[in-house]
Amino acid sequence: MQNTLQKYIPEQAVSRVESLLQHDNLSVLIKKERKTRHGDYKRLPNGKHQITINANLNHYRFLITLIHEIAHFETYKAFGRTVKPHGIEWKRTFQRLMLPFLNPEVFPNSLLPLLANHFKNPKASSDTDLQLSLTLKQFDETNNLNYVFELLLGQEFKLYNGKIFKRGSKRKKRYECVEVKTGKIYLFNPNAEVEIINNK
């Protein structure tokens, strides 16, 4: 697994991650991009445990996602199914596992203060932490997508599934967007990546 991990996470993190993964009944699979998630954890019917991570993540997001999922495994080992998936037990486990990686040998200085702030109370997804998510995306390969918050009011955009929306007003944290075909209103995170299809 070590040779595989070297392709996906910062070099200085490999040995420590290897030690976290030394469980006979835990496997990690690298998957093609899934638009709805970066990774997941599940207990298989045979009693083994499986983590999957998207192959297209940059090194820093891959590491955060992997530790996120290992935290689910460790939480399950300690508490079973009696706790919430992203409850306080998982948060504390995630914090404990992530802390040794929060140093300039693993992460660039531009990310460290944002990560330190995020891990005071880690969320179910780093994507809900707008500033951290935007900074992490600076390390992604370039694409022709825009963030929802960059769009003008009324500007139309397309999702990966082909659905077309029109950007509406901002609520407290998210944007109301109307699906053009159905007229239904959906809420989008400001940093959702979309494809602009007109220029007003």
> Could you tell me the CATH number of the domain that includes residue 168?
2.30.30.30
Per-residue pLDDT band at 1 (split at 50, 70, 90): low
Instruction: Domain of residue 73: give its range.
Output: 2-137
What tokens were used for 79? 């508490």
Q: Which residues pair with 127 in a beta bridge?
A: none
Q: State whether 8 and 89 are in the same domain.
A: yes
The total domain count for the chain is: 2
Last residue of a domain, one of 99, 120, 137: 137
Q: State whether 100 and 153 are in the same domain.
A: no
Q: State whether 85 and 38 are in the same domain.
A: yes
Helix (H) or strand (E) holding 186: strand 185-188
Q: State whether 120 and 167 are in the same domain.
A: no
Percent of the chain with pLDDT over 70: 97
Q: State whether 126 and 179 are in the same domain.
A: no
Q: State whether 106 and 162 are in the same domain.
A: no
Q: State whether 192 and 99 are in the same domain.
A: no
If one compares 125 and 109, the residue with the highest pLDDT of the two is 109
Predicted local confidence at residue 193, as pLDDT: 87
Q: State whether 40 and 94 are in the same domain.
A: yes
Q: State whether 35 and 98 are in the same domain.
A: yes
Q: State whether 151 and 129 are in the same domain.
A: no
Predicted local confidence at residue 199, as pLDDT: 52
Q: State whether 40 and 79 are in the same domain.
A: yes
Q: Is the pLDDT of residue 131 over 80?
A: yes
Query: How confident is the prediction for the chain on average, in pLDDT?
Result: 91
Last residue of a domain, one of 137, 155, 174: 137
Q: State whether 128 and 191 are in the same domain.
A: no
pTM for the predicted model, two decimal places: 0.83
Asked if 190 and 174 touch (Cβ cutoff 8 Å), the reply is yes
Predicted local confidence at residue 25, as pLDDT: 86
**Which among 147, 145, 186 has a CA at the least distance from the CA of 165?**
186
**For strand 39-43 and strand 26-31, is the pairing parallel, antiparallel, or unpaired?**
unpaired
Per-residue pLDDT band at 125 (split at 50, 70, 90): confident
Considering Cα of 160, then 124, then 1, then 137, what sign does the dihedral take? positive
Last residue of a domain, one of 94, 110, 137: 137
Asked if 51 and 27 touch (Cβ cutoff 8 Å), the reply is yes
